[in-house]
Structure 1
Amino acid sequence: MTDSTWTLTAADGELQVLTGVGGPAAKMGHRLTIAMASWRADVTWRGSKPIAAELVVDVDSLQVLKGEGGVTPLSGPEKVVVRSNALNAMDVKKYPQIRFSADDIAKTDTGYRLTGTVEIHGKSRPQSVDLEVDDHGGTWVMTAEVPVAQTEFGVKPYSLLMGTMKVADEVMVKFIARHPK
């Protein structure tokens, strides 16, 4: 039996990071929706079973879509500053990509559990992702939400006002992609 590969990119879906705000002055900050505009996922199939998957994200493709909450709405110039701060925190020049490689894929009631390793900021950690797969007629729709603690990967969450307002350590990574049958 020969293997085949599905390749998915940002043209097939979205990869977003949702942040929270912490600290005593949290009400002043914005909960951000960030898009990763350049990514590629390769899924290797053996017959009708997925046997491996890899997601590679270009950190420099980070785009700040919106900010909710805060004292004032998040302006265009503020989005530029937020992007710059995030890229500095991620040390994008030294660590230009984020990777998730799954070498164990198990069928679940709603899709698949992908178990492997995620590498962020030069640090690798084991990671499981529950990928929900829905049949939409001629298209498969795949979704996942995964919490990630930045400090587990050596990323220091951005803070202001001597730490009284900061990006929450845990962010939520949301993925959705479509693939024709």
Structure 2
Amino acid sequence: MVWELDSSDGRLELTTGVTGPAARMGHRLTIAMAWRASVQWSGDEPTAVELTVDVDSLEVVRGEGGVTPLSGPEKAVARANALKVLDGKKFPHIVYRTSAVAEAAEGYVLTGTLQIRDRVRDCAIDLRVEDLGDSWRMSCDAVVSHADFGLKPYSLMMGAMKVADEVAVSFTAERAKTG
């Protein structure tokens, strides 16, 4: 059996930080991205997961902090800068593939690799699974470092304000028990 999931089943969000002497002037961004996942099953146990994120789907949802509220044009500039950092034209997808799935107290531990641009890094994820009666809710949180993938965070004012190296990733999806 194979489960096919996508953005209509949940959300994948990134939250950036701001660092540098002028960090108070910058916005901490919440970014949404479209995704699709395939979960392979053997009987009642998941055996493999592959999640693919569409880089061009990147949307700046909101910005917290900053001197003024984040405007529409500023969201567009932040999106363009993020796509440049990710080299979205050359590398249109971010991919996570498991090499092992192990049962854990609150769900599963997914062990695998994360590929951003042309770099692949080992990545373990604690996937929480909740029984909602008619459906399952799957969720996880992780931190990804720009430096681990050779990405240079966007900066302004000669580095006095820049996107923090670590980006928080949050994923939640629901799947009906039948169908």
Question: If the TM-score is normalised by the length of the shorter chain, which range does it land in?
Answer: over 0.9
Specify the alignment match of 1:7 in structure 2: 4
- What count of residue pairs does the alignment treat as equivalent? 177
Match in the other structure for 2:47: 51
Cα distance, 1:99 vs structure 2: 0.2
Corresponding residue for residue 28 of structure 1? 25
**Deviation at 1:151?**
1.5
2:164 is matched with which residue?
Answer: 168
Secondary structure of 2:76's aligned partner: helix
TM-score (norm 1): 0.97
Runs of 4+ in structure 1 off by over 2 angstroms are none
TM-superposed CA distance for 1:103, in Å, is: 1.9
Decide which of 68, 73, 78 is 2:69's aligned counterpart.
73
Which of 96, 103, 107 is the aligned partner of 1:107?
A: 103
- Of 120, 126, 130, the residue aligned with 1:134 is 130
**What's the TM-score, normalizing by structure 2?**
0.98
Match of 1:118 in 2: 114
Deviation at 1:122, TM superposition (A): 1.0
Identical-residue share of aligned pairs (%): 55
Alpha-carbon distance in structure 1 between the residues aligned to 2:144 and 2:24: 22
Gaps of 5+ in 2: none
Alignment of 1:93-104 (within 5 A): 93-104=89-100
1:51-93 Cα offsets, whole Å, 9 max, x none, are 0000001100000000000000000010000000000111111
Structure 1 runs not aligned, ≥5 long: none
Give me the whole-angstrom Cα distance separating, in 2, the residues matched to 1:163 and 1:152: 20
The offset of 1:104, in angstroms, is: 0.3
Report the CA distance between 1:162 and its aligned residue. Answer: 0.3
> Structure 2 counterpart of 1:8, which letter?
L
Q: What is the rounded CA distance, in whole Å, between the counterparts of 2:73 and 2:127 in structure 1?
A: 36
Give the Å deviation of 1:14: 0.1
Question: Which residue of structure 2 aligns with residue 177 of structure 1?
Answer: 173
